Amino acid sequence: MSKMTRIEINAHGGPEQMQLVERDLPELKPGQILVRHEAIGVNFIDTYHRSGLYQLPMPTGLGGEAAGLVEAVGDGVAHVKVGDRVAYCSGPIGSYATHNIIDGATAVLLPTSITAKQAVSCLLKGLTVQYLIRQIYPVQQGETVLFHAAAGGVGQIAVQWLKALGATVIGTVGSEEKADLVKALGCDHVINYRTESAPERVKAITDGAKLPVVFDGVGKDTFEDSLDCLRPRGLMVSFGNASGAVDGVNLGILASKGSLMVTRPTLGHFIPTRAALEAASNDFFAAIASGAIKIADPTEYALADAAKAHIDLQSRKTTGSLVLIP
């Protein structure tokens, strides 16, 4: 039986729980494909799966995004063949590994112009931006919007795509170095939310009108400030928990702050089918091909150093994407 090496945890907790182990590769079932990874995506959700913010049955692998070569194809898979280069970003959990067996329907064939490393530095994050700014709130030319953590993996793609749509982009960042980086990406206004009040700056930038939409992946620390950046009937898109989960919300504040709307979306509900995956990934790859979005080289870690990647991502030290190389 063939073997693979992968990161596993036996209990939820800190990065020290992550161990590199050798395991047998399971048999392929109909509809599945075996992918030998060339690069693995690191996403903030992987830290939630590790910590237990999102619970998983133990023991478990980690990670849901990778790219590489198709090594075997189960019965009934028509659109990929052995030797194709594919990427996937919707699991199954266990992509922090040399190999993974995935549902063939979730594999995206990579254009020859995109390497495995490039794909995993942007596929999940790009599809996330696609559904946030093209599906949940289709951003129109001339609108002013705020995107939190603009220098992060998701944030850098969002800033560039929003600019290409003709929006005026306000980005928040946690340091002056990150402010310079997002200005260079085209951000019109940058707020260092460690030293400045986002609602005050937004009021000044918009002459008091405030915003139709805020995209917030920071969570607990920014929730109320994000509401205060919205104009009446504005939409708060709370899509992540980098600073902790938002809880204990008193719905009454939505009324008093302007009949606001809040949504807490996940990718799977906006890209639920093969057809939706193809449409969203084509939209994203087209934005890259047009030159509107440039994907910065990711920060690389060896698969065995996955714990270090989690420590760095959670410490707010990183910009752009992180990838693991098996």
Using DSSP's 3-state secondary structure scheme, residue 270 falls into helix
Q: Provide, rounded to whole angstroms, the least separation between the CB of residue 131 and ligand NAP.
A: 7
User: Distance between CA atoms of 183 and 117, rounded to whole angstroms?
Assistant: 25
Radius of gyration of the chain (CA): 20
Of 116 and 150, which CB lies nearer to ligand NAP in the complex structure? Answer: 150
Q: Provide, rounded to whole angstroms, the least separation between the CB of residue 24 and ligand NAP.
A: 31
Of 73 and 298, which CB lies nearer to ligand NAP in the complex structure? Answer: 298
Rounded to 5 degrees, φ, ψ at 269 are: -80, -20
Q: Provide, rounded to whole angstroms, the least separation between the CB of residue 223 and ligand NAP.
A: 12
- Residue at 143: amino acid letter: E
Of 320 and 326, which CB lies nearer to ligand NAP in the complex structure? Answer: 320
Of 33 and 124, which CB lies nearer to ligand NAP in the complex structure? Answer: 124
Q: Provide, rounded to whole angstroms, the least separation between the CB of residue 23 and ligand NAP.
A: 26
Collect all residues with Cβ–Cβ distance below 8 Å to 9 and sequence separation of at least 6.
17, 18, 19, 50, 58, 59, 60, 62
Buried b (16+ CB within 10 A) or exposed e, 102-138: bbbbbbbebeeebebbbbbbbbbbbbbbbbbbbebbe
Of 70 and 223, which CB lies nearer to ligand NAP in the complex structure? Answer: 223
User: What is the H or E stretch that residue 6 is in?
Assistant: strand 3-9
272: cis peptide before it, omega within 30°?
A: no
User: Distance between CA atoms of 267 and 281, rounded to whole angstroms?
Assistant: 12
User: Distance between CA atoms of 313 and 316, rounded to whole angstroms?
Assistant: 6
Residues at the contact surface with ligand NAP, assessed by CB under 6 A: 43-45, 124-125, 128, 149, 151-155, 173-174, 178, 217-218, 221, 239-243, 265-267, 313-314, 316, 318
Q: Provide, rounded to whole angstroms, the least separation between the CB of residue 154 and ligand NAP.
A: 4
Of 92 and 265, which CB lies nearer to ligand NAP in the complex structure? Answer: 265
Of 37 and 125, which CB lies nearer to ligand NAP in the complex structure? Answer: 125
Q: Provide, rounded to whole angstroms, the least separation between the CB of residue 34 and ligand NAP.
A: 26
User: Distance between CA atoms of 61 and 326, rounded to whole angstroms?
Assistant: 14
What pairing do the DSSP bridges indicate for beta strands 66-73 and 32-42? antiparallel
Q: Provide, rounded to whole angstroms, the least separation between the CB of residue 295 and ligand NAP.
A: 13
Q: Provide, rounded to whole angstroms, the least separation between the CB of residue 319 and ligand NAP.
A: 7
Q: Provide, rounded to whole angstroms, the least separation between the CB of residue 35 and ligand NAP.
A: 21
Of 59 and 272, which CB lies nearer to ligand NAP in the complex structure? Answer: 272
Residue whose structure tokens are 């266990």: 94
Of 223 and 239, which CB lies nearer to ligand NAP in the complex structure? Answer: 239
User: Going edge to edge, which strands form the sheet with 211-216?
Assistant: 189-192, 168-173, 144-147, 211-216, 230-238, 261-263
